[in-house]
Copies of this chain bind each other. A is one copy, B any other.
Amino acid sequence: MSIVSKSEKPIRVLIAEDQTMLRGALAALLDLERDIAVVAQAANGREALRLASEFAPDIVITDIEMPERSGLELASDLKSGNGKARVIILTTFARPGYLRRALDAGACGYLLKERPVSELAEAVRRVHAGLRVIDPTLAADAWNAGEDPLSDRERQILNRAGEGHSSAEIAAHLRLSEGTVRNYLSDAINKLGATNRIDAARIARSRGWL
């Protein structure tokens, strides 16, 4: 089907993934493919951005949850940069909110770590050929799941609350009154149909809104 012959120059790939063992294993396997060459590896988003401008890969495969800079932020950075790299998100999480944000950030692929390795190589080829590759399970979910109902402030506060910080601590950190913080949490709890702040944080996380 593909117009480009496999004896042409290989597809240049960069892998960003914080878990060393998975990163190394995927790089080794992809590199065994005749038409793919792994030109660089990064353990976090910041490093990935630097290496992308240095090596000018065709495809960037990236995890979402990484230190320094997330895969979603990396995708945004690459879109607004001057490179030509297309981004494939590779993550554990089947969260509609993540997929939506990934597409907003210009990603061309969204693949789950639940899938067999073989699909990764195939996704690289498809995306390089100009197609989009979205995990079929999620493509359906993403729309009926609806928008994130939380405002920026609510998200920010809920996130801290979910980590065990008290209202007073959060208020001090954001220079708000304690009552205000409690109101935001109350709103968030209400919007999410939760029973308390912890429950709300759990729900929001499970949908990829935090």
Contacts and interface: CB of A to CB of B under 8 A. Distances in A.
Contacts of A161: 198
Interface-centre pick from A28, A198, A200 (highest chain B CB count, 10 A): A198
Interface stretch (A73-81, A112-120, A131-139): A112-120
A56 to B, nearest CB: 26
Interface stretch (A17-25, A146-154, A178-186): A17-25
Nearest to A28: B29
Nearest to A118: B24
A194 B116 contact: no
Contacts of A28: 25, 29, 117
Contacts of A166: 195-196
A199 interface: yes
A163 interface: yes
21 contacts: A19-B92, A19-B113, A20-B113, A20-B114, A20-B116, A20-B117, A21-B22, A21-B113, A22-B22, A22-B113, A24-B116, A24-B118, A25-B28, A25-B29, A28-B117, A29-B29, A161-B198, A163-B202, A164-B194, A164-B198, A166-B195
Given A21-B90, A163-B198, A164-B196, 8 more contacts: A21-B114, A21-B115, A22-B22, A22-B113, A25-B25, A28-B117, A162-B198, A166-B196
What are the 9 A-B residue pairs with the smallest beta carbon separation, nearest first? A164-B199, A25-B25, A164-B198, A24-B117, A21-B113, A19-B113, A25-B117, A22-B22, A164-B202
